[in-house]
Amino acid sequence: MEKRTIRVEKEPNTRLPQGLKRPRRRNSMSSRLLILLGVIILAILALTGFGLYQKHEKSVAASESRSRVSSIDISQKVAAEESAAIKASESASVAADPTYGWLKTAGKPNELPILMFHYVAEETDNNQPAWNSNYITPESLSAICEALVANGYTTLTADQAVAVLTGNLKPSNKMVWLTFDDGHENNYTNAYPILKKYGIHASFGMVTATLPSYKGTDTTYISYSQMLKMQGSGLISFTSHTETHPDLSTLALSDEQEQLTGSKKLLDNLLHQNTQVLVYPSGKFDSETEKLAKEAGYKVALEEGEDMAVGSGNLFEVPRYRISTGASPNYVLSLLEAAVRYNTANTAH
């Protein structure tokens, strides 16, 4: 029997050369942690970037909003400045020419209804003289003013009324002139607040000797400081009612002349105006009074009359309608209707 020889192969020598070490295998857990950490860092960076983007967008939006608001503010400011400039221009035009923007007549003189008032007080006011047809209560005056505004009437200053009666222009076909005689203090305390409330123009006929700061001491009349306040409103103008309210037709010519020229001169100096309107005391005058009034520089003189003022008439005998507390708003409006129809037909187109 033959002997079999079995060869056993030896494993190869895997030893590293002396001085070298086999590298260690990385821990799989550490690798996963590193990956996770990288993902987290990337997420943080992404979120930070998105936040910065949003902040930028908000900043841009806010900037655009501020820009729009600024543009609106600028536009509004420009519009306001333009409006103010227009008003200033119109005011300057009116100051230079009181008839600026008025209508022109078709050739005939204007008709102008004029209302005459005196005291404005309650019947129970014991500080006033005996109640008579010269009175109107504040409530009645307020109702009349409200009706004038509601029906579109233009109210006039004294100078505007003179322009209407002496020229061929008019501010409106629906116009009326409110006049208050004597300058009683209740015209300031009771009438003026009502006129101011409704934006009504009116003229107050002043008895100049009653001004406490100058000749008189009767404080039941309007004072100089009150006159200045009302004049400054642009609503109230002042006319002459002579110095002491006499019956002019009974005076010597020299005294009559002093009554007319003295009151005009005082008003001109105190109020820096050219007083063009005279109101006859108690409506009494004569032909000599008219002559002296013209020589003194007046353009129009008012009486009582109970009729319509017409530009073609005698401007030193201009009539007015007496209004007292029994006058209703409808009654007052009825006095004005004929002039509206006439002036409307007498308008140039």
CATH of the domain at 112: 3.20.20.370
Evaluate whether 203 touches 177 at the Cβ level (below 8 Å): yes
- Rounded CA gap, 177 and 157, in Å? 7
Kindly state whether residues 82 and 226 are assigned to the same domain: no
- Kindly state whether residue 11 falls inside one of the protein's structural domains: no
Domain count, the chain: 2
Kindly state whether residues 148 and 273 are assigned to the same domain: yes
- Kindly state whether residue 228 falls inside one of the protein's structural domains: yes
With 0.85 as the threshold, say if the pTM is over it. no
Kindly state whether residues 256 and 283 are assigned to the same domain: yes
Kindly state whether residues 62 and 145 are assigned to the same domain: no
Evaluate whether 263 touches 241 at the Cβ level (below 8 Å): yes
Kindly state whether residues 226 and 326 are assigned to the same domain: yes
In tens, the pLDDT along 152-182 reads: 999 999 999 999 999 999 999 999 999 999 9
Res 97: pLDDT: 73
- Kindly state whether residue 162 falls inside one of the protein's structural domains: yes
* pLDDT, greater one: 330 or 217: 330
Kindly state whether residues 154 and 177 are assigned to the same domain: yes
In tens, the pLDDT along 57-102 reads: 677 666 666 666 555 666 677 667 666 655 554 555 455 677 888 9
Domain boundary, last residue among 96, 114, 144: 96
- Kindly state whether residue 15 falls inside one of the protein's structural domains: no
- Kindly state whether residue 27 falls inside one of the protein's structural domains: no
Domain boundary, last residue among 42, 75, 96: 96
Res 307: pLDDT: 81
Q: Name, in order, each residue with C-beta under 8 angstroms of 110's C-beta and a sequence gap of 6 or more.
A: 164, 165, 167, 168, 170, 310, 311, 343, 346
Kindly state whether residues 339 and 220 are assigned to the same domain: yes
Kindly state whether residues 121 and 236 are assigned to the same domain: yes
Among the residue ranges 243-247, 282-286, 339-343, the one predicted with the least confidence is 282-286
User: Hey, what's the torsion of the CAs at 239, 265, 91, 154, to 10 degrees?
Assistant: 10
pLDDT(260) > 90: yes
Kindly state whether residues 255 and 139 are assigned to the same domain: yes
What sign does the dihedral 13-15-17-22 (CA atoms) show?
positive
- Rounded CA gap, 290 and 302, in Å? 11
Kindly state whether residues 228 and 124 are assigned to the same domain: yes
Q: Token pair of 302, please?
A: 């008012």
Among the residue ranges 30-34, 59-63, 128-132, the one predicted with the least confidence is 128-132
* Interval 195-220 mean pLDDT: 82
Q: Which domain holds residue 313?
A: 102-345
Res 213: pLDDT: 53
289 band by pLDDT with thresholds 50, 70 and 90: very high
- Kindly state whether residue 132 falls inside one of the protein's structural domains: yes
- Rounded CA gap, 134 and 122, in Å? 12
- Kindly state whether residue 250 falls inside one of the protein's structural domains: yes
Kindly state whether residues 163 and 242 are assigned to the same domain: yes
Q: Token pair of 279, please?
A: 């109101």
Q: Name, in order, each residue with C-beta under 8 angstroms of 205's C-beta and a sequence gap of 6 or more.
A: 179, 180, 181, 182, 183, 238, 239, 240, 241, 277, 279, 302
Res 162: pLDDT: 96
- Kindly state whether residue 144 falls inside one of the protein's structural domains: yes
Task: Tell me the percentage of the chain whose pLDDT exceeds 90.
Answer: 57
Res 243: pLDDT: 94
- Rounded CA gap, 72 and 83, in Å? 16
Kindly state whether residues 185 and 205 are assigned to the same domain: yes
In tens, the pLDDT along 96-124 reads: 677 888 999 998 999 999 999 999 988 76
Domain boundary, last residue among 96, 116, 131: 96
